[in-house]
Amino acid sequence: MRSGQPAGVPKSAPLVWITRAEPGAAATAGRVRARGWTPLVAPLLEARALPGARLDLSGVAAVAFTSAQGVRAFAALSGERPPAFTVGDATAEAARAAGFSSVRSADGDVAALAALIARAAPGPVLHAGALHPAGDLTGDLTARGIEARAVALYETAPVDPGPALARWDEIGVVLVHSPRAGALLARALAARPAPRARLLALSQAVAAPLRAVENAKIAVAPFPNEASLLNLL
C-alpha cells in the first residue's frame, strides 16, 4: 500500500484496548503497533507480590510456570533454577531471561502444559503461580500420576477501568488474555452495550464471561497464544 499501512488495517484504525497486566501489556502494545494499529494500554489487573511468600524446593525435580509473572516472582525469591516447564513461549522467554537453562514450552493452555509435563515425567513438580490461578494444573497433574504441589507467589488485583471506558467510543478492539480479565471486562460493560467493539479472547475459557455482554462481537483465538490472538485483528 502506498500509505505504508499494513493490509487489513482500516485507514483510520480505532484504538485497541489492551487489558492484560504489565509488564506484558507493554510488549503486546509493541506488537499491536507494529501491525499498524493504535494500542491503548489500560490493564484490568495488576500483579502484586504476596507479602511473606516463601519457596520450599525440597524434593522438587521441576518447576511449572503458567505466567511470566510467576517466573519473576520465583526468581526474586530463589537463586535455584531447576528444569522449567511453561504454558507458552512468552513465559518460556521470561524463564530463560531469568537464568533457567532447561525450559520446555507447551505453547498452549494449562491442559497442554499438564500433558507436556506428564509426557516428560520429570518427578515432583512445583507450580509457582498466582493466589487464584486460572485452571488447576496441580489437580490435572495429580490425576495423571505426577506428584505436584502449588505455591502462591503473587496475586492479581482489579484496576479501575475508568480511563479506558472514558474513551469507549474510540475503541474498536479489546484484547483479553485471561478469564479473570474477561469477567472484569464483562462487569465493566454491563451498562455499556458493545455493538461496535470486537472482543478478542485468548481462549474459550477467556471468552466465557464475555458472552454476558449485550450485543458483544466475540472472536476466540484458534490457539491459546498471543500470535493467534493478534491474527484476529
pLDDT tens column, 104-119: 999 888 999 999 999 9
| Structure confidence at residue 153 (pLDDT) | 96
Looking at the structure, tell me whether residues 139 and 167 fall in a common domain: no
Q: Is the alpha carbon torsion for 143, 132, 202, 69 positive or negative? A: negative
Q: Residue 207 corresponds to which cell in the numbers above? A: 471468552
Looking at the structure, tell me whether residues 52 and 150 fall in a common domain: yes
Question: Does 4 fall in a domain?
Answer: no
Looking at the structure, tell me whether residues 33 and 109 fall in a common domain: no
Q: Is the pLDDT of residue 192 over 60?
A: yes
Q: Would you give the DSSP letter of residue 210?
A: G
> CA–CA separation, 9 vs 13, rounded Å?
6
Q: Is the pLDDT of residue 91 over 60?
A: yes
**HSE-up (13 A, CA, CB side) for residue 161:** 21
pTM for the predicted model, two decimal places:
0.78
For residue 18, list its beta bridge partners.
41, 175
Looking at this protein, which amino acid is placed at residue 171? Answer: I
Q: How many structural domains does the chain have?
A: 2
Question: Does 91 fall in a domain?
Answer: yes
Looking at the structure, tell me whether residues 24 and 121 fall in a common domain: no
Residue numbers of the domain that contains 128:
48-155
Q: Is the pLDDT of residue 7 over 90?
A: no
User: For residue 134, which phi and psi values (nearest 5 degrees)?
Assistant: -85, 120
Q: Indicate which CATH number applies to the domain containing 214.
A: 3.40.50.10090
Q: Is the pLDDT of residue 204 over 50?
A: yes
pLDDT tens column, 114-154: 999 999 999 999 999 999 887 899 999 999 999 999 999 99
The per-residue pLDDT of the chain, averaged, comes to: 90
| Structure confidence at residue 11 (pLDDT) | 52
Looking at the structure, tell me whether residues 22 and 78 fall in a common domain: no
Rounded to a whole number of angstroms, the CA Rg of the chain reads 19
Q: pLDDT-derived band of residue 95, with 50, 70 and 90 as boundaries?
A: very high
pLDDT tens column, 45-89: 998 989 989 999 999 999 999 999 999 999 999 999 999 999 988
| Structure confidence at residue 24 (pLDDT) | 86
Looking at the structure, tell me whether residues 30 and 115 fall in a common domain: no
**116 to each of 159, 180, 183, how far by Cα in Å?**
34, 25, 28
